[in-house]
Structure 1
Amino acid sequence: MSGSARRGLLLPTLATLVAFATLLALGTWQLERLSWKNGLIAQVEARAAQPPQPVLPVSQWPSVTREVDEYQPVRATGTFDHSKETLIYTVLSDPKGPFKGPGFQVLTPLMLPDGSAILVNRGFVPEDRRAPDSRRDGQIQGPVTVTGLLRMPEEASWFVPANDPAHNAWFRRDPGEIAAARGLAKVA
């Protein structure tokens, strides 16, 4: 093989080596991410399997952290304030029930005896059931005890639009924003 022929193969060989190294690095990253994700799933499943604890008093809410408390089962007794519910837009592409497509997660404040409130995710409703009148059976009145998993506020991302309280357009859970828009004090 002549020198010019070898030089002609240099660029394709280098490109192949760079592509191979890149693919090898991406494959390694995927395996590390899979291991991290499996560990995270195991941690969430272990937490969610614990017995429910009473919701902490308001004075202890600042000590709640994502790392220690998220997905901890909690229990609370109070009264739903349906007049201050918030609908978080979502799309169910892989439904686990009878509904699919665009709709809303219904967050309703559960008013606690001390005057504080926790936002309870009461589930998904399709777009055509947005109006509370279309789901009167779900408008529970009087004291109730609810058990669920403690969730932290959703973090902003490039893929989710910002909430627009002025136009009642919600795309992620943010108790602080929701509380301000709904006139609620002491909300978790």
Structure 2
Amino acid sequence: MAACAFVALGVWQVHRLHWKHDLIARVNARVHAAPVALPPSRQLASEDRQAHEYLRVALSGSYQPGQTALVRAATDLGSGYWAMTVLVTRDGRKVWINRGFMPDDATPATARRTVPSGPVEVTGLVRIDEPGGSLLQANKPALDRWYSRDLAALSTSRHAGETAPVFVDAQKETAKEPAGVTLPVPGLTVIRFPDNHLSYALTWFALAVLSLFGIFLAWRRAGRSLA
């Protein structure tokens, strides 16, 4: 019966609503928590990496300017690029860092010139890999055109070797910055979860009521025709 199907879909949306609100609460708690150490790469790779997304972490080490790439971005500051650079931590791990937003006229060469040459400390949010490209455009490594933060492809392109299976969106970077260059703008991570489940649930329940009303009208007409 259609009404039963509509009710089942409405109940499912209610469950999704509770799940989404729980997710938003957990993410908000992570984003505003004190930074912690980045979990080991083996742990990040073996567990559900979404369980670590938006975890606030602190890292220290040195950037590798030659392992820098620009990835297409659309932000509140307009269209441009994310400046991605590999950080080698003090314990030897390699982690891609999204240092922040650069405008449309940026080039990989200008991005490399913004990279500090000495020790650096980064506080930021863990993000999960974005393989393949964007919804509309595939990455083109041979042309050095990137539309998503595809860590494996970026690492291969920049001969970075094995890197962490996640990257970090920088919120704050502490280092001796190069003089006379426009630095990437950090802290632009978009944390937005569509939350339309209540309206979807109400729509399904309304359809269920309409279906039952239609059945009632059909039954009533049938009763009159037999009278």
TM-score (structure 2 length as normaliser):
0.59
With 25-34 and 102-111 compared, the bigger mean Cα shift is at 25-34
Q: Is the 8 A contact 1:160 1:171 kept in 2?
A: no
Mapped to 1, the partners of 2:50 and 2:110 lie a distance apart of 39
Q: Is the 8 A contact 1:78 1:112 kept in 2?
A: yes
- Tell me the equivalent position of 1:139: 115
Name stretches of at least 5 consecutive residues in structure 2 with no aligned partner: 165-227
With 43-52 and 116-125 compared, the bigger mean Cα shift is at 43-52
Superposed, which structure 2 residues align to 1:27-46 within 5 Å?
Answer: 36-46=19-29
Q: Is the 8 A contact 1:107 1:122 kept in 2?
A: yes
Paired AA for residue 80 in structure 1? Y
Mapped to 2, the partners of 1:58 and 1:27 lie a distance apart of 40
- Moved segments of 4+, more than 6 Å: 23-32
In the TM superposition, residue 45 of structure 1 has moved relative to its aligned partner by 0.6
Mapped to 1, the partners of 2:106 and 2:24 lie a distance apart of 32
1:109 equivalent in alignment to 2:109? no
In the TM superposition, residue 76 of structure 1 has moved relative to its aligned partner by 1.2
1:53 equivalent in alignment to 2:36? yes
Q: When you count helix as a share of all residues, which structure comes out higher? A: 1
In structure 2, do the counterparts of structure 1 residues 87 and 24 end up closer, same or farther at CA, with 3 Å as the change threshold? farther
Mapped to 1, the partners of 2:149 and 2:19 lie a distance apart of 25
In structure 2, do the counterparts of structure 1 residues 41 and 24 end up closer, same or farther at CA, with 3 Å as the change threshold? same
In structure 2, do the counterparts of structure 1 residues 25 and 60 end up closer, same or farther at CA, with 3 Å as the change threshold? closer
In structure 2, do the counterparts of structure 1 residues 87 and 134 end up closer, same or farther at CA, with 3 Å as the change threshold? closer
State which of 102, 117, 135 in structure 2 corresponds to 1:159. Answer: 135
Q: Is the 8 A contact 1:87 1:170 kept in 2?
A: yes
1:175 equivalent in alignment to 2:158? no
Mapped to 2, the partners of 1:144 and 1:43 lie a distance apart of 29
Task: For CA contacts below 8 A with separation 6 or more, give which structure has more relative contact order.
Answer: 2
Mapped to 2, the partners of 1:109 and 1:135 lie a distance apart of 11
Report how many aligned residue pairs link the two structures.
Answer: 163
SS at match of 2:30: helix
Q: Is the 8 A contact 2:133 2:146 kept in 1?
A: no
RMSD: 3.2
Paired AA for residue 119 in structure 1? W
In structure 2, do the counterparts of structure 1 residues 37 and 83 end up closer, same or farther at CA, with 3 Å as the change threshold? same
State which of 61, 64, 68 in structure 2 corresponds to 1:81. Answer: 64
- Tell me the equivalent position of 1:149: 125
- Tell me the equivalent position of 1:129: 106
In the TM superposition, residue 47 of structure 1 has moved relative to its aligned partner by 1.8
Percent identical among aligned pairs is 35
SS at match of 1:87: strand
Name stretches of at least 5 consecutive residues in structure 1 with no aligned partner: 1-17
TM-score (structure 1 length as normaliser):
0.70
In the TM superposition, residue 108 of structure 1 has moved relative to its aligned partner by 0.8
In structure 2, do the counterparts of structure 1 residues 142 and 116 end up closer, same or farther at CA, with 3 Å as the change threshold? same
In the TM superposition, residue 144 of structure 1 has moved relative to its aligned partner by 0.9
